[in-house]
Structure 1
Amino acid sequence: MSSIADTDLLSGPVDEVFRVLDERGEPIVPGGLPTADELLTGYRALVFARRLNEQASALVRQGALAVYPSSRGQEASQVACASVLAEQDWLFPTYRDTAAIAARGVDPVEVLTMLRGDWHCGYDPVETRVAPQATPLATQLLHAVGVGHAARFKGEDTVVMALCGDGATSEGDFHEACNFAAVFRAPVVFFVQNNKYAISVPLARQSVAPSLAAKAVGYGMPGVRVDGNDLPAVMAVLRAAVRRAREGEGPVLVEADTYRMEPHTNADDATRYRSDDEVSDWERRDPLTRLRSHLVGTGALDEVREAEIAEAVEEMAARVRSGVSAESEVDPDELFAHVYATPTPQLREQHALLRAELEGQEA
């Protein structure tokens, strides 16, 4: 491969992992890197995503969040999938994609609202073009394909980025979504962040396919593997996939080879199913240190720029702490506001009983 620009990233062997930077931050593809400014913007987004993961995990320990599924180690994939979308495009995230939603431009405090235990997702999906975070595996993929299919019917210039993990590829919904999208050429990019575990189940116990990207062959769509810890590589592949979908050529399945550095959630004991040596090996492939090494080596990142990024990141973290820890106003009437467009007699009766009880307490 001579460069990213003159290479068809969607037609290579499905068992080959596309990379731009090696683990030391040295270029693998000559002439294939974005500009220094673009890489600095990407690095800043990585640092924001890492700090958001750290801050959210701390808020769980403090009792301000009920749970947090960290994406530490997967930040390059999180940032890349948001950065390649146009304003009119849609992002369909999972419960682990908080950093991707924030990278899409949604207020991090709003992103974390659901994880506080609130009844709604915290942001307006239509306004932000970001679907609610999906906890059940793969269910959001069917919704994503439906949005993409509808957009084609309406003649809209819309591409849908549908996120999932390796565990979701074992679900029937994954198969149905991929098959439907391929048959009807829906403008969808299926982005699988293969972080090696479905909670405690390793990939080898989920599939014996040569790769998850290889599954695309059976659906008649391109399948691509990319180093999920290499930000410019992930951006290049996803940008090509989005362009293909936008031009009406149908869906693409992209598998990002990455790793979940922290436990599944704060309720998980990862030492029961993986070794410290395995985690340490992946820490050497950290997406932040890889890109930082490249930028420092080329002189694009100096102490002044790092200090500016650090200051902005800490301002974000302070705002998240304040916003998540603030007491939320509870309106009991909201329990009944969004159940049916026209409330049923039973719902109206239950609402009246609640109002009577509350008014009696206030009297």
Structure 2
Amino acid sequence: MKAYLILEDGTVFEGTSIGSSREVISEIVFNTSMTGYLEVLTDPSYAGQAVVMTYPLIGNYGICREDMESRQAWPDGYIVRELSRIPSNFRSGDTIDHFLKEQDIPGISGIDTRALTKILREKGTMNGMITTNGDYDLEEVKEKIRQYTVKGVVLKTSVKKPYVLPGDGKKVALLDCGAKDNIARNLNKRGCEVTVYPADTPAEEILKTNPDGIMLSNGPGDPAENVGIIEEVRKLYESSVPIFAICLGHQLMALATGAKTYKLKYGHRGGNHPVKDLETGRVYITSQNHGYAVDEESLDPSVAVPAFVNVNDKTNEGLKYVGKNIFTVQYHPEACPGPLDSGYLFDRFMRMMEEGR
């Protein structure tokens, strides 16, 4: 079956329908990872977006469900150059095409993803439609596509009620704003008892359990949209509990303390982004997935100072909070997929909790 990807600027790509055949309008973003497509598909940070994989062959090692990063797949759509229909891997339990159908995610294959990525890099992230209906009015469709916005995705992806991963060590409260499972796993394997809370949990409910530390997770969408969550994060900041925040959590903490965020032209998504630690000068290769960044010019230096910087475009990649046991990073130390260079940040968080309040 033929499928079409129509961008809001009028560009049209014709290819083959994969996954679900339903029509979808979404924000189109690209990911440069060479492997880890299942982890990308099950990363809640992609809610409200359709993902272009820049690596030309996707699905060659099949679907290994134990590698999923959450309970389901989250992107609105999936766009690839070539889809492998006969996977080869002793761990594979399914094909990616069947997985997309099962998860009701529409996609398109057989298009020039390199040309598409160049458009998104030059013109910036834009909306698009994936459809199997070839009988469309381009001007009418373009107007419909332009009206799409990503909204309400944090509460959509968050857990609906708290749950606990048992451990005999430090008690960590994880605020799930669209968390990847590997964040909790990294804490759990270090002995922590991890209690995962819905994103809209009041700060008082978390603090009354007297946790040794608080994690603010990654998640989807525009951070500034989450006004209520930001207010609760401000209360967590004012407590004396050690806090470690990742990606969206990093942005929410910055907003809660008076800084601003802005949308990047096309974001950072992939497993090969170099980040420099400003204290040591060391550069780490990191896994990233975000479309917004903290505006360093808006920081109050008496509250927070830059701790990490993106080597490619000099955007902020992390903050250290003055006089507080709080540090935040824009990238993903839990990786999955991606390099494990920055896993040491979980150990830093463990030392913060050991030192106490």
Same fold? TM cut 0.5: no
The structure that is helix-richer by fraction is 1
Task: Flag the structure with larger Rg.
Answer: 1
The structure that is strand-richer by fraction is 2
TM-score, length-normalised on structure 2? Answer: 0.29
The one of the two structures with greater contact order (alpha-carbon pairs below 8 A, sep at least 6) is 1
TM-score, length-normalised on structure 1? Answer: 0.29
